Amino acid sequence: MSNRRQRPESGALLRLREKIDALDRRIVALLNERAELTIEVGHEKVALGRRAIRDAEREREVLLRVSIANEGPMPQADLIAIYRRLIAASRALEAREREKLLTGGHDPAEPPGA
């Protein structure tokens, strides 16, 4: 049990936090939708015989479009940092999916029988 005292919260604060919680759920759904598309991109690259997972030019384009779309108040540097991490996670997902394709559907990161 925490020794911090519960501070009273206003109705307005509770409503704002509920909106943030709802928005977080939408963001998670969108991130997972993006991840599914990343997997599809990886499959298409394999079908086309492309070996490289990283496409530096495409990453630059994404970061540029995100920068242009940002109207604030999120600081540009913070948004770019978030997107760099998102791109890195997408590359890792694509790499794991490619490994699964090459090993007949088994994810080498999962223990056998999982």
Rounded distance between C-alpha atoms, residue 54 and residue 45, angstroms? 11
- The alpha carbon dihedral of 75, 77, 81, 84 has a sign of positive
Rg (CA), the chain: 20
Tell me the pLDDT of the chain averaged across its residues: 90
Which of 6-10, 63-67, 83-87, 95-99 bottoms out in mean pLDDT, i.e. has the lowest? 6-10
Helix axes 11-47, 76-102, angle to 10 degrees: 40
Give residue 60's pLDDT: 97
Each residue of 45-74: pLDDT tens digit? Answer: 989 998 899 999 999 999 999 999 999 999
What pTM does this model have? Answer: 0.79
Amino acid (1-letter code) at residue 9: E
State the DSSP string of 88-103.
HHHHHHHHHHHHHHHT
Q: Domains plus CATH for the chain?
A: 13-102 (1.20.59.10)
